[in-house]
Amino acid sequence: MWGEILFRVEGGGETKFIDHRFRVYHDWDSFLKGTKILPSEICYPTSGTYALAPSGMEVLVSFGFSPSSRRSQRILAKLTLIAYVFFLVGLILDAIYAFDSDLFALVVVGSCMSIAAAIFLLTMSVIKFAQALKHS
C-alpha cells in the first residue's frame, strides 16, 4: 500500500496545496482535477480538510478516481508509448540504410516515422512544461 503526500499551507488569507513533487495547487478542486497521481481509486477529505460529520461520529471523506484514470489520459499514455516505438523503429530503419544504400525506401519510411513521432513527443513535452509552470 502506498500513499501520496500532500501539504495544506495557509497564510496571507490563502490556502494552497503542495504535492510531493512541489506542484502548487491554488485550491482543493485544482488538486483533484490536476493531480498527477497514478491511475487509481482515491479516498480524500471531502473539502480538503479532515472534518467530522454533523453527527460527530464520522470523518467526512469522498471516494473517486485520480485524473490519470480518465480514459483520455490512458489513451494519451498509450499514444506516447507508440510514439517512442515509432521513433526508435525510424532510427533503426535509418541506421540500416547506412549499411545498405540500396534500401532508400527505408530511409524515407524511417525518417517519416521519426519526424512524426518527434513532433508528437515535442508537443506533449511543451504541454507538460506549461502544466508544470501552472503548478509552480
What pLDDT, on the 0 to 100 scale, is given for residue 81? 93
pTM above 0.75, yes or no: no
pLDDT in tens, 1-47: 456 777 888 888 888 888 877 888 888 888 877 777 777 777 888 87
3-class secondary structure, 110 = helix
pLDDT in tens, 69-102: 778 878 888 999 999 999 999 888 888 877 777 7
If asked whether residues 35 and 50 sit together in one domain, one would say: yes
What pLDDT, on the 0 to 100 scale, is given for residue 125? 92
Q: Which of 15, 133, 131, 1 is nearest to 67 (CA)?
A: 131
User: What is the distance between the alpha carbons of residues 49 and 28, in angstroms, rounded to a whole number?
Assistant: 9
- Number of domains comprising the chain: 2
- The amino acid at 128: K
Residue 30 included in any domain: yes
Q: Calculate mean pLDDT across residues 98-125.
A: 87
User: What is the distance between the alpha carbons of residues 134 and 113, in angstroms, rounded to a whole number?
Assistant: 32
If asked whether residues 86 and 127 sit together in one domain, one would say: yes
17 close to 31: Cβ distance less than 8 angstroms: yes
16 close to 32: Cβ distance less than 8 angstroms: no
Q: Which of 70, 75, 20 is nearest to 40 (CA)?
A: 70
Query: What value does the CA radius of gyration of the chain take, rounded to a whole number of Å?
Result: 22
Q: Which of 69, 88, 114 is the last residue of a domain?
A: 69
If asked whether residues 56 and 79 sit together in one domain, one would say: no
Residue 136: pLDDT band (50, 70, 90) is low
